[in-house]
Structure formats: structure tokens, C-alpha cells
Structure 1
Amino acid sequence: MRRILVVGSSGAGKSTLAGELARRLDLPLIHLDRHYWRPGWTAPAGDEFRARVAELAARPAWVMDGNYAGTLDLRLPRADLLVLCDPHRLRCLVRVLRRRWAYRVEPRPDLPPGCPERIDLDLLRYVWRYPGHSRPRVLAAVAAYAPDVPVRRVRGRRDVARLRAEVGKHS
């Protein structure tokens, strides 16, 4: 495996798992949030982000974490594996709150400078609605753009342990 895409709700553990997979497989780690956001949580203009994602996805090897459904068409066909981090939404909400507390002073390593950890109603709504709104969009994108890409759904610690063991065999 040379290209692993990790997606899921906020608070699902995408960045943590992606970092671990990248270290285990000695692959470059790409946090899409670092490429999307500008200081002050400012979004990029126009198609700038799509062009950047196309460049990143064209690389020969990576572990890439981030949702950005509007770029799945660029990333999925290049991926060797899609990991869908999919714990229960309540667990994700707790993790989002815990993460906010943990990074109240120091910035999160998967975010760009000038984007301090924050929680707002939109984020909480996104997490709550992920299973019914965003997860089906991800699965539809897989069917449309990369039906042969294996999908590993990771719901909890046992699933993560199984994925670790499987990745270790194929490295």
C-alpha cells in the first residue's frame, strides 16, 4: 500500500490514525486541513484548493487525512485503501470537546498556523449529521470514482488493532 486515504467525522480519529499509519509504513503524511485553511480560518479562493489536492494526490505515496467531499474525485482513484473512521457520533462529540480542551493553548499539529482549535454550532451539527449526511456521500463517491478501492470501516479500538495488524503484514 502506497496511498491510503483516511476520512470520517470530526473527532473520529482521522489525524491520529493517519499519523500512525504513515509512521508504520514510512509514508509521507498529508493533513488536508493544513493545505485548506489560511490564518484566521479563512478558506482558499476559487479552485486553488482543488489544484493543490490534485498535486498532492498525484504524488507516488502518501497517507492523506481529511474529508473535503468536493475533492474525493481527485483522491479516491489514486488511493490503494480508504479508511473510514466511523465511531459513534457521541464518541466523536466527546473527542471534539476533549480536543478543544487539550489544544486550548498550543496549536493542533494537523492545523496550519493561525487556526486555533475552536468549536462552534456548525461543527457540532456536522458531527451529529455525519452518519446520515456525509458518510453516504463518501460511500457514493467510492462507488462512482473508485469502486475497486478497498474500504476499511474503523469503528473502535478493535477495528484499529485489526487495521494495524493488516497494514503491518503488507508493509
Structure 2
Amino acid sequence: MKRIMVMGVSAGAGKSTFARKLGEKLDIDVYHLDAYFWKPNWVQASTEEFRESNRKIADQDKWIIEGNYSTTYDIRAPRADTIIYLELPLIICLYRVVKRWLTNIGNTRPDMGPGCTEKLDYQFIKFIVTTYHKRKKKMRTRFREFQSAGGPSKKVIVLRGRKAIQEYFTN
């Protein structure tokens, strides 16, 4: 594993924390896509700017890229050798998003772009709830395609639940 995509079913699945721990364990730099997508004060990067940042990261020999972002999956996936997918129940994801907000009010998390202080609004909660089940289905299809495109050199690791995620690091 040298080029790893850490993806999740939803915000709150634990992608950032998992990627950070994995980066430390494997001594590989971690790139959080939110930090490239969001400019200060929650301004979105242009599509081309975001895609270019993904290209620069994906062209490196070793990386862990954390985040879903369908708009740049086509850049990352062909270079990746492994996808690690975190799938937790919707209620746990929602709980974690609210907890993260309460813990970080007024601060910018290390996995975010500078000047993007923690926020939580109805639109974000609605997005999580309305895309959760569709995303689960879409990810399964995406992973089958990923593996069939690269054969045995493309590996997908699915971790369902907190226990599976914790056990991954103890093995």
C-alpha cells in the first residue's frame, strides 16, 4: 500500500482520524481533500483548481488521500492501489458530526482549509441524511469497478463499524 484513498459513507464516518492514524503508522503523507476544496471563509475552489490540486497529489509516489469528492475520483482512482472505506450507521455519523461541531466551535480543524471555522447547518444535516443510502449503493458499484479495472493490484478494504476500524490498527 503506497497510494491509498480513505473514503467513507458519510461525513462523520471517521475518515480524517483514520487517515491521520494510518499515515503515522505507514509513514505516508496524508492529504485531506476538504483542505483543497475549501478556501478561507468556506469559499469553494473552482473545479479546475480543485482538480489540479488532486492531480499534483495523485502524481506523487506515495500518499493517503482522505475524502470522497466524486468530481475528482477519476483522477485519484487510477493511481490508487488501495481504497479503505469506512461504513458506519447513519445515526453514528450524525452524532459524530454534531459532536465535532460542539468540540470545535470557533476553531478550524487541521483537516480543513485555513479560515474555515467549524460550522453546522440544516443544509449539511439534510445532505448527510438524503445521500447516505444512495452513497452506500454507489460506493459498492464504484469499488467493483475499481477492482475489475486493476485486477489483483487494486485492493478494497471495507471496515464496517467502530470495532472493525479499531481492529484494523491492531492487526
Q: Same fold (TM over 0.5)?
A: yes
Once residues 129 and 152 of structure 1 are traced to their aligned partners in structure 2, the CA distance between those partners, rounded to angstroms, is 25
Residue of structure 2 in register with 1:63 after alignment: 64
Once residues 158 and 62 of structure 2 are traced to their aligned partners in structure 1, the CA distance between those partners, rounded to angstroms, is 21
Residue of structure 2 in register with 1:81 after alignment: 82
Once residues 130 and 159 of structure 2 are traced to their aligned partners in structure 1, the CA distance between those partners, rounded to angstroms, is 18
Say whether the 8 Å CA contact 2:4–2:81 is kept in structure 1.
yes
Q: Cα distance, 1:144 vs. partner?
A: 3.6
Say whether the 8 Å CA contact 1:77–1:146 is kept in structure 2.
no
Where 2:88 maps in the other structure, the secondary structure is: coil
- Where do residues 1-171 of structure 1 align in structure 2 (5 Å cutoff)? 1-8=1-8, 9-147=10-148, 148=151, 149-166=154-171
Structure with more strand by fraction: 2
Where 1:95 maps in the other structure, the secondary structure is: helix
The gaps in structure 2 that reach 5 residues or longer are none
Q: TM-score, normalised by structure 1?
A: 0.89
Say whether the 8 Å CA contact 2:35–2:113 is kept in structure 1.
yes
Amino acid at match of 1:3: R
Where 1:78 maps in the other structure, the secondary structure is: coil
Once residues 32 and 23 of structure 2 are traced to their aligned partners in structure 1, the CA distance between those partners, rounded to angstroms, is 11
Amino acid at match of 1:154: L
- Write out the 4+ residue segments of structure 1 that deviate beyond 6 Å after TM superposition: none
Once residues 3 and 106 of structure 2 are traced to their aligned partners in structure 1, the CA distance between those partners, rounded to angstroms, is 33
Q: Which moved more, 1:52-61 or 1:130-139?
A: 130-139
1:24-44 per-residue CA deviation (whole Å, 9 max, x = no partner) reads 000001001111111111111
Where 1:6 maps in the other structure, the secondary structure is: strand
Q: Cα distance, 1:110 vs. partner?
A: 0.5
Say whether the 8 Å CA contact 1:69–1:138 is kept in structure 2.
no
CA RMSD of aligned residues (A): 1.6
